[in-house]
Structure 1
Amino acid sequence: MSNHPHIHKHEVKGKNLVLSILLNIVITAAQVVGGLISGSLALLSDALHNFSDVLSLILSYVGHKLSRRKATIEQTFGYKRSELLAAFINALILVGVAVYLIIEAVQRFYEPVFIQPGLVIWLAVLGIVVNGLSVLLLKKDAAHNLNMKSAYLHLLTDMMASVAVLVGGLAMKYWELYWVDSLMTLLIALYLIVVGGGLLRDSTKMLMLFTPDFIDIKEIVREVHKIPGINKLHHIHVWHLNEEELHLEAHLDCSEDMTLSQFNNLLMQIEDVLYHKFNINHVNIQPEYKKEDPKDFIVQD
């Protein structure tokens, strides 16, 4: 296996996660108290979502720290996939919270509850400010890391949920439309399902070692076959170890019987093509010459 020498990694800042955790603990406590006093389900649902954020942010932070641990004899890849696992669990939490909110909101439509809108409005504003600040803290990291993206999406949906709660609070205060509280809760829940479902799909694909969507196996074969000395690339696997490391392993049927030094030169050409054209930075090739085995691109192991 080879590591391409010029990989530039974005350095994710764990301290931004810690600050976001502290901010969300404060807003969660305030919204729980405010929701119980005011009777607002939307405010309590926002608080529940914020609490799930606290858990998910802690999970993301643990995953972030574990992923930086060095590989050992027992863990030859280290904990590099821990952030993918954290993202997967966070997505499950998002969808689970959404289902619970939908059930509660439907019940409220049939059993309306009087709500004190003033407290709802002020706590919604507080939620917008706190979550907005947390979103800004994680925005840059979210563009480079699926785990950070999961935390970022939690916070972004929280901010949007707080906006929805604010709209509901104003509607209750000035027009006494108390059913809006349940409607906003439903909208929050549906949005959670959309963003959580997308994150769940992406993290599942990586955990299952699926070929990345942007990789075309046949195109890889066409490009590699242009290199002199190659008969056929086959038995191919391409997967994400994590978001920074894209791996390829394959069997290579050489067109002639060659020395190890000759194969090393051939391998360097293959690595160069795979890195510059497909961004594959870890390559493991098994050389063969007239070996009797299946020569399909994808072989059932």
Structure 2
Amino acid sequence: MHDNLTGKRFFGVTLLNVCITILEIVGGLLSGSLALLSDAFHNLGDSLSIVLSYVAHRISQKSQDQQNTFGYRRAQIIAALLNAFLLVFISVFLVIEAINRLREPETINGTLMMIVAVVGLLANLISVMLLNRGSHHNMNIRATYLHLMSDTLSSVGVIIGALVIKFYNITIIDPIITILVAVYILFECWPIIKKAINILMEGAPKLDYEAIRHDLVALEGVNDVHHVHAWMVDENSIVFSAHVNMADMCLSDVEPVYREIEKLLQTKYKISHVTIQAEAARGKGENLIYDQGRDI
């Protein structure tokens, strides 16, 4: 049911954005508004973004197999990164066009510009509401949501610009609004790009590793912890591995300690997958994060 609902929402948002794009391209050409055309380009990017986001969402639902033993959830991270880069490309292009327009201002039909922008704003608001729920816990949907939010902001800017042009005939406001919206989008893209690259580079999640060591050593049967590795499969799934020094005991006695370690890491540190290598004396006293470059 959830996948079907998600599919319907993605389809509805895509259809809305295609309609907005066509309307704003025609309106932008007829009115002479770069801000309106920039909004149309954003919406065109949105349509591509939404399709990419949905395809990645479907791929991420595939089960783990021999080709991908951690599953396919990183498809959504890749989609989020591509979507963010697409936004950066569009924003840079629009800034260049806006600077050119500042040098050579053109006549703009403020009334037509405002009518088209109001329709675009309403459609963008509907799209934002459709994807709002999934944007809080999913980087892929959040990147698409950012596309839509940027378009909503852009539409508001176009409306303000249209009012200024209509009543005061200050046409320079059109490229200025385009630049301001583009800069805002670039600013919002950076956290998504940074986090996506960190996940794809197997970067460590933000965990208090010394606190983890302290908590593990406090467990009965655990003497020391070293060779810790932590990485993220996606933004919500942390994988953790460590070598744990224990007293020399039977394997059947080790398993209850494993369960205690897993319970601690999952409940307190929200770690999804735990792998422990039990050792008696090997590696005891070595660094928590191994730095000799020989363990991989």
User: What is the TM-score normalised by the length of structure 2?
Assistant: 0.94
- CA shift, 1:172, in A, is 0.6
- CA shift, 1:39, in A, is 1.1
Which one of 261, 265, 269 corresponds to residue 270 of structure 1? Answer: 261
Which one of 169, 176, 194 corresponds to residue 176 of structure 1? Answer: 169
Whole-angstrom distance in 2 between the partners of 1:30 and 1:174:
24
Which one of 166, 184, 191 corresponds to residue 198 of structure 1? Answer: 191
AA matched with 2:200: L
Q: Is 1:150 paired with 2:132?
A: no
AA matched with 1:288: E
Cα displacement string for residues 24-55 of structure 1 (whole angstroms, at most 9, x for unaligned residues): 01101111111111111101111111111111
Q: Is 1:224 paired with 2:213?
A: no
Query: Among the aligned pairs, what percent are the same residue?
Result: 38
Q: 1:160 to 1:176 in 2, by over 3 A?
A: same
AA matched with 2:203: F
Which one of 72, 77, 82 corresponds to residue 84 of structure 1? Answer: 77
Which one of 159, 164, 167 corresponds to residue 157 of structure 2? Answer: 164
Cα displacement string for residues 113-158 of structure 1 (whole angstroms, at most 9, x for unaligned residues): 1111121101110111011001011111101111111111110110
Which one of 71, 88, 110 corresponds to residue 103 of structure 2? Answer: 110
Which residue in the other structure is 2:225 paired with? 233
Cα displacement string for residues 225-279 of structure 1 (whole angstroms, at most 9, x for unaligned residues): 110111211111112211332110111121x111111111000000111011101
Which one of 249, 262, 277 corresponds to residue 258 of structure 1? Answer: 249
AA matched with 2:264: V
Which one of 203, 217, 223 corresponds to residue 210 of structure 1? Answer: 203
Cα displacement string for residues 198-220 of structure 1 (whole angstroms, at most 9, x for unaligned residues): 2111212222222223x111111
AA matched with 2:249: M
User: What is the TM-score normalised by the length of structure 1?
Assistant: 0.93
Whole-angstrom distance in 1 between the partners of 2:284 and 2:78:
36
Which residue in the other structure is 1:249 paired with? 241
Q: Is 1:53 paired with 2:38?
A: no
- CA shift, 1:86, in A, is 0.5
Query: Bigger relative contact order, structure 1 or 2, given CA contacts below 8 A and separation 6+?
Result: 1
Cα displacement string for residues 182-213 of structure 1 (whole angstroms, at most 9, x for unaligned residues): 11001110111011112111212222222223
Alignment of 1:117-136 (within 5 A): 117-136=110-129
Which residue in the other structure is 1:29 paired with? 22
Q: 1:145 to 1:65 in 2, by over 3 A?
A: same
Which one of 264, 272, 276 corresponds to residue 281 of structure 1? Answer: 272
Whole-angstrom distance in 1 between the partners of 2:197 and 2:108:
41
- CA shift, 1:112, in A, is 0.6
Whole-angstrom distance in 1 between the partners of 2:149 and 2:49:
13
AA matched with 2:260: Q
Which residue in the other structure is 1:4 paired with? none
8 A contact 1:60–1:151 mirrored in 2: yes
8 A contact 1:14–1:64 mirrored in 2: no
Whole-angstrom distance in 1 between the partners of 2:254 and 2:224:
14
- CA shift, 1:174, in A, is 0.8
User: How many residue pairs get matched?
Assistant: 290
Whole-angstrom distance in 2 between the partners of 1:126 and 1:23:
11
Q: CA RMSD in A?
A: 1.5
- CA shift, 1:295, in A, is 2.0
- Ranges of 4+ aligned residues in structure 1 off by more than 3 Å: none
8 A contact 2:224–2:285 mirrored in 1: no
Partner secondary structure for residue 224 of structure 2: strand
